[in-house]
Structure 1
Amino acid sequence: MELWNRIGRLSSVFIVCALAGCSSRSDVLSANANMQPPPVVLATPLQVTYQNELALARLGQLLATNNLNSEQRAALFYERGLMFDKVGLRTMARIDFARALREKPDFAEAYNFIGVYLTQQQDFDNAYDAFDSAIELAPGYDYAYLNRGIALYYAHRPELAVKDMEVFQQRKVDDPYRTLWLFLTEVELDRNKAMQMLIKQYDKNHTDEWGWNIVKVYAGKQSAADFIRRIPESTSSNRQLAEHLCEAYFYLAKLSQLQGNNSAAEAYFKLSLSNNVFDFIEHRYALLELQLANQAPNSYPADVDFEAE
């Protein structure tokens, strides 16, 4: 019997129990909450589809024509970059975004993507420059504020990160992900104040949008176990399930970190990545989190020429 008990304990290591949720708001960030391990829900990992491959082929054919002006070439490079990004070919995507900027130097969206890749590479100073360019060219481009805030967050500059996240959150207060990222930056400065603000934002702004369920867990209004168990009920396809799980496991990993359980966080980051939702920020930064945790080297060699034809 003792042998079977040991086997049972070993089988549960992957979903360590820190993130089961909290019975009250006051202990939601506590590492000592006496809760049971939440279940694990899995989707079939997303795959590159025939439509993805066909779109890449067609964009390549269009770019091979000679009757395009710079504006048209920039748009096509950007569209192909988005498609490369969607299927996880990050180096190819970054090359195309750089080409789009060469054709159209005032392409704010391309600067934003370059900044995201630089953040993943932990080249924060150049990432700031890219996001600054995007914001200067398009002050209303919300996601440049988000991504600059994330870069500042990972560079351990929370005071500046909070400023960007406040701008991002205030422009659409009923967006749950804006509330979550504002919390994740604010908690670096004042945990109690950040939690009070999160609960206030949830009570005031939450809607039926699925992402508010994640905020509900952070606010201590729902256990992680119930949250995970109900995710399949909110989806109508494997793609939607994979997307929801990518998001859910990433933010549960961040909550695990706040609770001081890095083993649980690592497991959840890996679960987030397992869905292959390459173009979600949760997938991007789950990979960065694991690199930081394991002191992994940068993904890109220093001598890669991203301007190459």
Structure 2
Amino acid sequence: MTDFLYDIPENPKPEGGTSGFFTARDGKKLRYAHFPAIQRPLKGTVVLLSGRNECIEKYFETIRDLAARGFGVAIFDWRGQGASDRVIRNPAKGHINSFKDHEHDLESFFSEIVLPDCRGPFYILAHSTGALVALQAAPSLANRVQRMMLLTPFLAPYKSPLSVRGIRRLAASYHWTGLGRLPIPGARDTRVPEPFWQNKVTSDPARYERNSLIYQTYPQLATGAPTMGWVRAAAMAIAHVQDPAFMAALKVPVLLIAAGADTVVSNYAIEAYAHRLRVGSMLTIHGARHELLQEADLFREQLLGAFDAFIPGSDAPAV
């Protein structure tokens, strides 16, 4: 059997995984993997949705944690990143035309991989922009997914001088003048890891070094800075999920997790959203940075404890 996953000594593959590619509606090839539970009783499958500029390999540790809890895991690389097809010819640019494309890819993932090959019931564990996609897709997932746990969801950037509406208007001006594929002005090349002391995403040096080594060893998995078109698409998705009629129609129970020391996304926006959500609640892990699943054990164990409490089938009662 062909293996489409990459590992390094510091980041070994979880046991028993199956990997391959499925075809999106428009013909894009998207890489996926699914892994069996290694503990009994079997509790279903967690659909793990990564953030921007992430790949399956970055979640090997988390996959092992979930497998040890009795959950299978299904995961795929979003179009434009990881080992999936890029959206535009230049692979260095992190571009997407619309987050609807991500939503349709998630629907295809369920139809082609999750439902036929993975054991139910199904839960979603999603990070940052992956959490935004999960929210956007929630109405179509209502009969498939039992619960969603959304980590540091991207509902607004941290301390932006512009509102999300202002960001959308600015990005739209680039789009309509044919400049939507330009990178964000002044954005750094995210294919090149920052020194640990400069990073904003984790306080754990070992996990940061491990994740940096993945991209240094396999640079084809990395994606560069987002384009203005990506920014426009994200702002439109944020506006969509914040529409009162959309929020009122949500039926899947949601737990939003904020990182208290997040300097990537706005915790105020997450709190405001949770307050308006009929089927949702919020937890803040104080002192943690943006990438909660890549954080130090002190914070990561709090997150896994919240997972155990929220996802039915775990040893702790659901909340």
TM-score tier, shorter chain, comes to under 0.3
More helix as a share of residues: 1
Q: Normalised by the size of structure 2, how large is the TM-score?
A: 0.25
More strand as a share of residues: 2
Larger Rg: 1
Higher relative contact order (CA 8 A, sep 6+): 1
